[in-house]
Amino acid sequence: MTIVPGVFQNAILISAMTAWFFAQIIKVIVNLLLVRTLNFQLLFSSGGFPSSHSATVSALALGIGKYYGWDSPIFAVAAVFGMIVLYDAAGVRRAAGKQAEVLNQLVERIYHGPDRAQEQLKELIGHTPLEVFGGVMVGIIVGLLI
């Protein structure tokens, strides 16, 4: 079996990537509904609802559990990996986003307005628990369908 055809026949990989893709598409739709702006840059951004990281690892773990068994060592690895990603998305990365927001405000106050020479730090890099939950739901739905 060659690599390329094998990759396109890997249902677990296809499930995980499809979950990521749908989560990113949903971000564009949610932004369109809430802000009334069609922003295709959201297709490649982190943060927002739903969490594409959460969707990806949820579909991955679900696919591995379905295919290899819920008691398999590889499912245990995927589940622990998924828990770390979920914790990181809602914990560490969210805290980093809040810190970036505060730093951007400090720079703006120091320079009495936005400093054109200072690039603003990205603030939307983490997720709220609801965004993580939404990503998990997308991952589970895609994982069950594929």
For residue 114, is pLDDT > 70?
no
Q: Which domain holds residue 48?
A: 10-91+126-145
Cis peptide bond N-terminal to 50, omega within 30: yes
Residue 50 in any domain: the answer is yes
pLDDT for the residue numbered 65: 98
Residue 57 in any domain: the answer is yes
How many domains does the structure of the chain reveal?
Answer: 1
For the segment 76-91, what is each residue's pLDDT rounded down to a tens digit?
999 999 999 998 887 7
Residues contacting 137, CB < 8 A, separation 6+: 50
Residue 115 in any domain: the answer is no
- E strands along 14-143, which residues? none
pLDDT band of 115, cuts 50, 70, 90 = low
pTM: 0.79
Radius of gyration of the chain (CA): 18
**Angle formed at CA 50 by CA 48 and CA 53, multiple of 5 degrees:** 90
Residue 114 in any domain: the answer is no
